[in-house]
A and B are shown apart, each in its own frame.
Chain A
Amino acid sequence: MAADSSLKDHALERAVFISRAAVACVIMLLLLGVLVTRLSFLQVFQYDYYGTRSDDNRMRVQLAAPVRGLIYDREGRLLADNLPAYRLDLIPEQVEDIDAALERLSRYIALTPTDLERFNKRRRGQPRFRPVPLRFNLTQAEVARFEVNRRDFPGMEVRAGLRRHYPLGELTSHVVGYVGAINERELKTIDEQSYRGISQIGKSGVELAHEGLLRGTPGSRIVEANALGRPLRELEYNRPTPGQNIHLTLDARLQAAAYAAMGENEGAIVALDPRNGDLLAAVSKPGFDPEAFIDGITQKDYNALLTHPGRPLFDRVLQGQYPPGSTVKPLMALAALEENIIDPRRRVWCPGYFELPNSERKWRDWKRDGHGWVNMAEAIYRSSDVYFYKMSMDLGIDNISRFGARFGLGEPLGIDMPREKGGILPSREWKRARKNVHWFPGETLNTVIGQGYMTSTPLQLAHMTALLAMRGQGWRPRVLAESEDAISGHRQLNQPSPWPAITLKDAGHWNLIIGAMEDVVHNPRGTARKISLNAPYRIAGKTGTSQVYGLAQDQAAPDLEDVERQLRDHALFVAFAPIDDPRIAVAVLIEHGGGGGAVAAPIAREVLDAYLLQKPPLQARARLEGTR
């Protein structure tokens, strides 16, 4: 050791050490510089980015769905409501043995295999602390049974929510419509921002048409959550804005009366207020239970609705396109008067058939023996086909299609309802476009009596009648009367929109036609004379019997017993009353009902009575009625 020490040069060692330590210091400073540079980069230059990432990490947005607006009829009767509904949730984390717990639970609350399957499906891939719905729509009794024994069921709880309720149920199933879970197709079209946290959407009827008013604006709750997503505290709460309550033009009492008047028949009744276009009643029968769709309808129930021979989901009022039959005769006569083709007083011989020049084919009148000599009014109230066949030779398809269009035939009317159909108002252009064939004169004969290619919806027929009642000064049909802010109560009136006015060269022609329609009911030979009995007001109407040439292609093959019924004609009747102050225009269509005068007209009378003979409503909606 001593020998070694003697070899050591302490001064040199120290000098070497100092230089090495200096080098080390320089290197350390450089490395510290690297650290500081990197830290500054992260904490200063990328601060915004990482700050946001950190907030994204910790903040969770919980959505609060708004309360959907209520739907009232014109007198403030509820048509769509939100009722408290109870849902049973299970929090997997807090239940030791889920199978055993479900077993115990089923002693108090019925659990179907569907419930269990749905529950197990929802459970998968969820954090264990998140509640999973087990049963929907518990009854009060079930809630009570559960609450009494709730100590036996840790980790389960009953939650109250709101569920759409339709007090009139089937009665308003088509016009009010229903809500259901948003499906994938809707998901693609809706604005996601407006539907955050909302699971239901209007599917049909007013619920769909005025979805934007009813929906409201979702609110949100921003909570701080840990890495597992468990919420720890609330940071921010934006209250949801409830949807608007809306008041319809519909009269629930009239709707109920019309529904009852229809009896067991299948068909449609539409009632309009000619003075403003208000849709007073819209019945399509058979209806369905609109609440069946709310929690999701099972495939079996849905198939049952789809394959039901009466096609309950089909809204006949807006989408049923039927040959209007003789109900268009007043319109055709008006067109002929306007074109100066007929002299209303001139009588025409009706032998029960009509032949075109150079044709062997006989065009039959519905009355085999014919009506004898008839003038224009008689041709209307006794419903001579031959008179109109002859008239149509001079009138021509071009005048028919032009005039019909002014009354809203052939195109959807633009009512504020979804999926309205427009029927067919045939014309040369239409036929060329659709069938690629030119127009045959014989087809004009079919068209003038509302047969052949011609179809229209019951709504179009009611609207046409309303326009006649108002002598061409009518309104576009509508169903929304006003909307009401659910919080402030502020009401926004939906102004009626006028229909393009129909001005005749001779306004006296209106009287001729309305007079003839009055005779349909009040003339002893009128086709609807039976309904004039004890009528305290004057009715103008027109019967129609539209031939069913064959089964529609989309109809299922009926049972043999049904075949006869299926081939029976549709019974139609259009009317307005009172004649000197029209307050209601109505169209009645009874599928396979037979004769319009015998079947449809009495039903229309019941509807008119229900509306015109009722006691004045408590709150007369003067501002709605006095708009003209």
Chain B
Amino acid sequence: MSPRSDRITVSEWLTAWRLDVPLLTGLLICLALGLLVLYSASGQSMQMMTNQALRLGVGLVAMFVVAQIPPEWYRTAAPWLYGLSVALLLIVIAVGTTAMGAQRWLDLGFIRFQPSELVKLAVPLCVAAFLHDRALPPGWRVVLVTLLLLAVPAVLIGLQPDLGTALLVVAAGAFVVFLAGVHWRLMALLALLAAAAGPLLWYNMHSYQKTRVLTLLNPASDPTGAGYHITQSKIAIGSGGLFGKGWLNGSQAHLNFLPESNTDFVFAVFAEETGLMGVLALLTVYFFIILRGLYIAWRSQDTFQRLLAGSLSLTFFVYVFVNIGMVIGILPVVGVPLPLVSYGGTSMVVLLMSFGMLMSINTHRRLLAT
């Protein structure tokens, strides 16, 4: 399967290198849009562009490498990876670097690294590998074990505290269980339990987290404090109108009214400069990527691959939904970046690695006897 022929198309060549062309196209479109928005949001800072391009390069190389490895290897490595990431989470809690009031970073000297990002991969991998060997749909005992597998890292991340990531990790694991076909009645029971845990969660939340939730309900209550982000973000989006103010013309971001305009709130800049039309285009690309992921899952050849690919795709949707929902003021402000667009290192690389796994699943196909 290596490129030998003299007259192969680019698409064939890429496929030969185990890259999925439609998925890659969608990703590259998103990444390109992301760089453009970032250039504008950062006030045309070439330094930030270089940084981000560097990370993209690392991410794409990581994706490429991940795609070369057969999916079976991941299934084998899954428990080890899970153990490693839990261990790293414990280390973070013990010695991690504090940034912006939360202990999330592990400083390895040459690179600063967020173990919780690794967990986002490790958990679905581990749960999918676990269910791969079980009869599906899973019984309640199996579900209980998977819940435990979810809960350990989720609690550790929640302690950092990083509620957003913890919920995303739970979501990633839960999607595996969901796609494995857990019975609707069991799901309803779990949902009920989750709802019952709500108040418990609320009383254990930090006051700033509570404020974020309350602010969502009434942003005008505190327009200069907690509500300021969301108010300025809505102004940026609303003032974009149908067609936007044009690239590099988003006054909300350029004049510093919009906070976090490079990272969590970059979507507001995009919406301000490209308007509803640009936003719809971006959502279409995102949805295309998700559908492609689900298609790969559908075409995959074993339970592990199917569950993993499905879960990764749905988790990607959750990223998109939570970030945009937060920026447009229908979800509380949690620190979830806009995937493939926001400025940031670890999450971008991990995300591209997850797409590398999808590509690996799609390109390492065995010929099955029929």
Q: Is A437 an interface residue (CB 8 A)?
A: no
Contact B303 A8 (CB under 8 A): yes
Q: Is A129 an interface residue (CB 8 A)?
A: no
Beyond the given pairs A35-B324, A54-B272, 20 more chain A to chain B contacts, judged by CB atoms under 8 angstroms and listed by A's residue number, are A4-B133, A7-B135, A8-B303, A14-B298, A21-B294, A21-B297, A28-B314, A38-B329, A39-B276, A39-B328, A43-B241, A43-B279, A44-B276, A50-B239, A55-B239, A224-B255, A226-B255, A227-B255, A227-B256, A232-B255
Q: Which 8 A-B pairs have CB atoms at the shortest separation, nearest pair first?
A: A50-B238, A16-B181, A54-B239, A227-B256, A226-B255, A42-B238, A58-B251, A43-B276
A-B contact pairs, 30 of them (CB 8 A): A4-B135, A8-B135, A13-B136, A14-B298, A17-B181, A18-B298, A21-B179, A21-B297, A24-B178, A24-B179, A24-B314, A25-B294, A28-B290, A31-B321, A38-B329, A39-B271, A43-B240, A43-B271, A44-B241, A44-B276, A49-B238, A50-B237, A50-B239, A51-B241, A53-B235, A54-B251, A55-B239, A58-B251, A58-B252, A232-B255
Question: What separation, in Å, do the CA atoms of A58 and B256 have in the docked complex?
Answer: 10
Q: Is A32 an interface residue (CB 8 A)?
A: yes
CB-defined contacts of A31 to chain B, threshold 8 Å: 317, 321
CB distance from A22 to the nearest CB of B (A): 9
Question: What separation, in Å, do the CA atoms of A24 and B175 have in the docked complex?
Answer: 9
Contact A28 B287 (CB under 8 A): yes
Contact A35 B290 (CB under 8 A): no
Q: Is B214 an interface residue (CB 8 A)?
A: no
CB distance from A58 to the nearest CB of B (A): 4
CB distance from B223 to the nearest CB of A (A): 11
CB-defined contacts of A7 to chain B, threshold 8 Å: 135
Of B136, B238, B255, B306, the residue contacting A46 (CB under 8 A) is B238
CB-defined contacts of B235 to chain A, threshold 8 Å: 50, 53-54, 57
CB-defined contacts of B328 to chain A, threshold 8 Å: 35, 38-39, 42
Q: Name which of B236, B237, B238, B324 has the most chain A CB atoms within 10 A of its CB.
A: B238
CB distance from A485 to the nearest CB of B (A): 39
Q: Name which of B239, B252, B271, B294 has the most chain A CB atoms within 10 A of its CB.
A: B239
CB-defined contacts of B240 to chain A, threshold 8 Å: 43
CB distance from A222 to the nearest CB of B (A): 13
Of chain B, the residue at the smallest CB distance from A28 is: B317
Q: Is A190 an interface residue (CB 8 A)?
A: no
Interface residues of A in 1-16 (CB under 8 A from B): 1, 4, 7-10, 12-14, 16
Question: What separation, in Å, do the CA atoms of A227 and B272 have in the docked complex?
Answer: 17
CB distance from B180 to the nearest CB of A (A): 8
Of chain B, the residue at the smallest CB distance from A38 is: B328
Question: What separation, in Å, do the CA atoms of A17 and B307 have in the docked complex?
Answer: 8
Of A13, A34, A43, A232, the residue contacting B306 (CB under 8 A) is A13
CB-defined contacts of B324 to chain A, threshold 8 Å: 35
CB-defined contacts of A16 to chain B, threshold 8 Å: 136-137, 180-181
Q: Is A225 an interface residue (CB 8 A)?
A: yes
Question: What separation, in Å, do the CA atoms of A14 and B297 have in the docked complex?
Answer: 10
Contact A57 B251 (CB under 8 A): yes
CB-defined contacts of B283 to chain A, threshold 8 Å: 32, 35-36
Contact A47 B239 (CB under 8 A): yes
Q: Is A40 an interface residue (CB 8 A)?
A: yes
Q: Is A565 an interface residue (CB 8 A)?
A: no
CB-defined contacts of B252 to chain A, threshold 8 Å: 54, 57-58
Secondary structure call for the A interface: helix
Q: Is A20 an interface residue (CB 8 A)?
A: yes
CB distance from B266 to the nearest CB of A (A): 15
Which residues of B line the A interface, CB within 8 A? Answer: 133-137, 175, 178-181, 232, 234-242, 251-252, 254-257, 271-272, 275-276, 279-280, 283, 287, 290-291, 294, 297-298, 303, 306-307, 310, 314, 317, 321, 324-325, 328-330
Question: What separation, in Å, do the CA atoms of A327 and B321 have in the docked complex?
Answer: 95
Known contacts A7-B135, A39-B279, A44-B276; A17/B241 CB under 8 A: no
Chain A contact patch, size range: 35 or more
Known contacts A13-B181, A13-B306, A20-B181; A42/B257 CB under 8 A: no
Known contacts A39-B328, A53-B235; A228/B242 CB under 8 A: no
- 0/1 interface trace, chain A 482-511, chain B, CB 8 Å (1 if under): 000000000000000000000000000000
Of B236, B254, B307, B330, the residue contacting A38 (CB under 8 A) is B330
Known contacts A32-B287, A35-B324, A53-B235; A17/B276 CB under 8 A: no
CB distance from B141 to the nearest CB of A (A): 14
Known contacts A39-B276, A58-B251, A227-B256; A1/B133 CB under 8 A: yes
Of chain B, the residue at the smallest CB distance from A228 is: B256
Question: What separation, in Å, do the CA atoms of A317 and B133 have in the docked complex?
Answer: 111
CB-defined contacts of B280 to chain A, threshold 8 Å: 36
CB-defined contacts of B256 to chain A, threshold 8 Å: 226-228
CB-defined contacts of B272 to chain A, threshold 8 Å: 54
Question: What separation, in Å, do the CA atoms of A57 and B272 have in the docked complex?
Answer: 14
Contact B234 A42 (CB under 8 A): yes
CB-defined contacts of A35 to chain B, threshold 8 Å: 283, 321, 324-325, 328
CB distance from A60 to the nearest CB of B (A): 10
CB distance from A67 to the nearest CB of B (A): 33
CB distance from A71 to the nearest CB of B (A): 44
